[in-house]
Amino acid sequence: MKNFPKTAVVVDSTAYFTPIEKSRYLIEIVPINVIFEGKIYRDGIDLTTEQAYQFLKKNPEDWATSAPSIGDFLTAFKKVSTQGAEAIICLTLAQSISATWNNARNAKEIAKKEIPGLKIEIIDSGTAVIGERLLALRISQMIKESKEFEEIIEMTENFKKKLRVFVLLETIRYVYRSGRIPKIASEIGVILPLKPILSVHGGKIKFKEATVSKEKGEEKIIEILKENFDENFPEIDLTYIDNSEEIKNFKKKISSLIPEAKISISQFSPIVGYATGPGTIGVGFFSK
């Protein structure tokens, strides 16, 4: 059994963590569901990231996701409580993207009755994937530093304002799956030799700009990093879909220009990646 600190962290599975990280920071993950050909799979439990993308390639029209249920969150809250946690900070996908936040909030109301005395704060990350991951790591670090619960909540809101996430797409053709652009627009986008850059901030996904090549897109993101990177919070998270060599080379470019950066790499969560497509690169960091 893990020895939890007084405050535990609960996140949904779009915020990817390695087993070592989960053990080091004592993070409990609630899986989002993938529905494929009539069967429900729990992200990271019944289904690996690689398998999820294989399903997506096989039959994208019969691939869908659903938020963790109220019961899923309640189970997670009870689990960390039995392991010694007296308070929980639950961080979720932006409520504008998913019902995850709302289900976590409803689970909190039930927990008030079933686990009296357990303090729970539900925080809308305002972002997804690497952004949510960076916030969860920052919260975990503050817990490790023995900061008070209320102070952590207040500081997390400040970190949310500083958080920046940019996504460089290989093509715009997949974005229509998110419901944010019509399919015809994505089909026109395929014809044009452009690589879109999207920003994710404050719960909103916005078009930043488009570049003529992937290399130019990477150069633009590095330019943004150099202008905005806060060296006091040196974590930079990179994520990718089906382009592991490309992301390794991108990391080298960033390291050579920002040597103080602490850069980690993970695969893009298929829960969000289905709307961005193969070749996607994501970058998350804290701005000045």
157 with 167, same domain: the answer is: no
Domain boundary among the residues 140, 161, 182 is at 161
Domain boundary among the residues 114, 135, 161 is at 161
Does the residue 2 lie in any domain? Answer: no
- Please give the pLDDT value at position 176: 62
27 with 137, same domain: the answer is: yes
How many whole angstroms separate alpha carbon 8 and alpha carbon 104? 15
63 with 77, same domain: the answer is: yes
Would you say 133 and 17 are in contact if contact means Cβ atoms under 8 Å apart?
yes
138 with 26, same domain: the answer is: yes
Does the residue 236 lie in any domain? Answer: yes
Instruction: Show pLDDT as tens, one digit a residue, over the chain (288 residues).
Output: 344 568 999 999 999 887 778 778 778 999 999 999 999 999 989 998 889 999 988 998 898 899 999 999 999 999 999 988 999 999 999 998 889 999 999 999 999 999 999 999 999 999 988 999 999 999 999 999 999 999 999 999 999 999 999 999 988 777 766 555 545 444 545 556 789 898 988 888 888 888 989 999 999 999 999 999 999 999 999 999 988 999 999 999 999 999 999 999 988 888 888 888 889 999 999 999
- How many structural domains are present in the chain? 2
249 with 125, same domain: the answer is: no
How many whole angstroms separate alpha carbon 52 and alpha carbon 56? 6
Whole-angstrom CA distances from 91 to 131, 234, 246, 276, 280 are 11, 21, 30, 23, 24
What is the phi/psi pair of residue 224, to 5°? Answer: -65, -45
Does the residue 1 lie in any domain? Answer: no
Query: Tell me, what CATH number does 47's domain have?
Result: 3.40.50.10170
- Please give the pLDDT value at position 279: 92
Q: In sequence order, which residues have a C-beta less than 8 Å from that of residue 131 and are 6 or more positions away? A: 125, 163, 165, 200, 284
- Please give the pLDDT value at position 227: 95
Residue with tokens 């053990």, as numbered in its chain: 23
Backbone conformation region of residue 102, classed left if phi is above 0, alpha if psi is from -120 to 50, else beta: alpha
Both tokens of 284, joined, read 């998350």
110 with 197, same domain: the answer is: no
Does the residue 84 lie in any domain? Answer: yes
Q: What range does the domain containing 224 cover?
A: 163-286
Half-sphere exposure of 201 (CA within 13 A, CB side): 17
139 with 263, same domain: the answer is: no
What is the phi/psi pair of residue 193, to 5°? Answer: -80, 60
169 with 257, same domain: the answer is: yes
- Please give the pLDDT value at position 17: 84
Does the residue 215 lie in any domain? Answer: yes
44 with 105, same domain: the answer is: yes
143 with 177, same domain: the answer is: no
222 with 157, same domain: the answer is: no
Rg (CA), the chain: 19
Does the residue 140 lie in any domain? Answer: yes
Domain boundary among the residues 138, 161, 184 is at 161
111 with 210, same domain: the answer is: no
Query: Tell me, what CATH number does 252's domain have?
Result: 3.30.1180.10
Does the residue 46 lie in any domain? Answer: yes
In 3D, which of 144, 200, 140 has the Cα closest to residue 175?
200
Does the residue 279 lie in any domain? Answer: yes
How many whole angstroms separate alpha carbon 229 and alpha carbon 223? 10
